[in-house]
Structure 1
Amino acid sequence: MKKTYFNWSSGKDSALALYKVLQKSDYNLDLLVTTVNKDFDRVSMHGLRNELLTEQAKSIGINLKTIEFPADVTMDLYSEIMKDAMDSLVEEKYTHTIFGDIFLEDLRKYRDSKLNEVGITGVYPLWKKDTKEVLQEFLDLGFKAITVCVNAKLLGEEFVGRIINEQFIKDLPENVDVCGENGEFHTFVYDGPIFKEPVHFSIGEKVMRSYTLHDNEDDNCHQPKKEETSHDTSFWYCDLLPN
């Protein structure tokens, strides 16, 4: 069997991809790997408290490893920290890793190029699937998720802190992918077929935060872009409080 770790975001696409991989017998998947902001003790980009991330992993029943980044991370520092982390995973004999990516070609090329440097194979269970079908399958399987971060350029405050359901899908603007694959929104999955029990939380405050990104840091996926640009971007966050 292939010794495998999973790139766990804490969101819905990760949850569905993990579900699919766990149905297969050729992957020995025993580790979730998540990037976190060490200055704020939260999941990168999602803004989820690490306590809830830990509770997720416990309910899923798979060990969790976090890779810590400072809040102000440059491309060079990002690459250095990730390379050290992957080298460590190679030393632990991991040969494969799973992602929940669906259609971002540049992101997959970037991931695969970095994985090739250390001899790890990337696996993409949701790749090129229709995002409407992906989200419908997610709901049909009984998964439950809530939005924790939305891109303020595309979605208003009313879209953050919302349960993902049929009404949410209907309310999305036409220019927003239903899975938020372009970084329009991020989610926290708190129940479903991969969980032993639901992760309990209460909804806290909603805040908007704006950031100035480094030259070629990707605001959607925290990966370097090919072009070198600098711009501001804003997000609505909903703080979830562990119960």
Structure 2
Amino acid sequence: MMPRPYCEVEPQIISLSSSPEIAAVSWTGGKDCNLALLKAWRDPALSVKYLICFRPEGKPFRSHPILIMEAQADALGLPLLHIIIPSSTSDYMEAYVNGLKSLKMKHGINVVVTGDMDLVGTMQRNWIERCCEQVIDGDGKYMKAYLPLWKAERSDCLHSLLEEEFVIIFSCVKSPFFDGSWIGRRLNEETLLELKTLAETPLKEEDIKEGVKPLDLCGERGEYHTMCLNGPLYRKSVFLDDFVHAEPLVFKEEGTKWKGNIHNANIFWTLAVKDNND
């Protein structure tokens, strides 16, 4: 099957039948997937039934704690399905595709919704879209990717979150833009103004030499991450104190940057998640 050409415009879902297609949202618990969920929920061509968490085998999610994601799923009344990426894998796309094939067979999922806004790193096309088009049923129909935030204006997305009264907190922030005081802060008009100021501030020469790029207002290059505690579709709030300690964790890696670091941060701060004994 020939791959579809990359398109700069937002992909659209077209219902091929009178009944909505079963959809699942790629889930991290952050602001973008929550906004994507809301848009998909309001789309009459879709019936959102599940959340999907792609996660590495045996490794904690520092930015998006699993315990909080499970509490979100409970508050939303949607099952959280896990696709475990084996630690031994050498082909991440194959692992993603196999996971999606399994979910399609077990749950009838035809559409995967993601809050991705743009390409990151060296990617030429959206990752989830590439994976979905390799999941093909017996009739030759491939799984679809729905990207309602694709190429969206960053400021518009952040304002939409405030207008829809989402309760969003910062769960991971990275140097050189942020420090530990941002952990646990709420996304509101004040922090949005601070983000805009940071995005407009010229980088220092040493940061440019390190490969740091200007702050993406929505943190699309991984400069910061968030978690949602309440929103339009939530039946109850998620209480942060149930899952984390008051003081954030700090990680410093001078010289060698940590894996998965898109914008070359030397220091990052995260929520300090409680263990089962706390």
Indicate the TM-score class for this superposition, using the shorter chain for normalisation.
Answer: 0.7 to 0.9
Structure number with higher strand proportion = 1
Asked whether the 8 Å contact 1:33–1:67 carries over to 2, the reply is yes
Aligned to 1:199: 238
CA distance in 1, matches of 2:72, 2:125: 26
Asked whether the 8 Å contact 1:47–1:237 carries over to 2, the reply is no
Indicate whether 1:208 and 2:250 are aligned: yes
Q: 1:8 aligns with which of 20, 27, 34?
A: 27
Change (3 A) 1:220 1:29: farther
Aligned counterparts, 1:1-243, within 5 A: 1-40=20-59, 42-43=60-61, 46-48=63-65, 50-69=66-85, 73=87, 76=90, 78-92=92-106, 93-104=108-119, 106=123, 108-118=125-135, 119-172=142-195, 173-174=198-199, 175-202=214-241, 203-204=244-245, 205-210=247-252, 218-220=260-262, 233-240=266-273
Asked whether the 8 Å contact 1:201–1:241 carries over to 2, the reply is no
User: 1:96-147 deviations in whole A, cap 9, x for unaligned?
Assistant: 1100011227374332222111121110111121110100011111001111
- What is the DSSP-based 3-state SS (H/G/I as helix, E as strand, rest coil) of the residue aligned with 1:197? coil
- What is the DSSP-based 3-state SS (H/G/I as helix, E as strand, rest coil) of the residue aligned with 1:79? helix
User: 1:162-211 deviations in whole A, cap 9, x for unaligned?
Assistant: 11111112222123222111211110100110100111122523122257
5+ residue gaps, structure 2? 1-19, 136-141, 200-213
Change (3 A) 1:192 1:121: same
Query: Displacement, 1:237?
Result: 0.7
Query: Displacement, 1:17?
Result: 0.9
Give the structure with higher Rg (CA). 2
Query: Displacement, 1:2?
Result: 1.0
Q: TM-score, normalised by structure 2?
A: 0.72
- One-letter code aligned to 2:128: R
Q: How many pairs were matched up?
A: 227
Query: Displacement, 1:240?
Result: 4.9
Range with greater deviation from structure 2 (194-203 or 77-86): 77-86
Q: TM-score, normalised by structure 1?
A: 0.82
CA distance in 1, matches of 2:236, 2:124: 33
- One-letter code aligned to 2:37: L
Aligned to 1:224: none
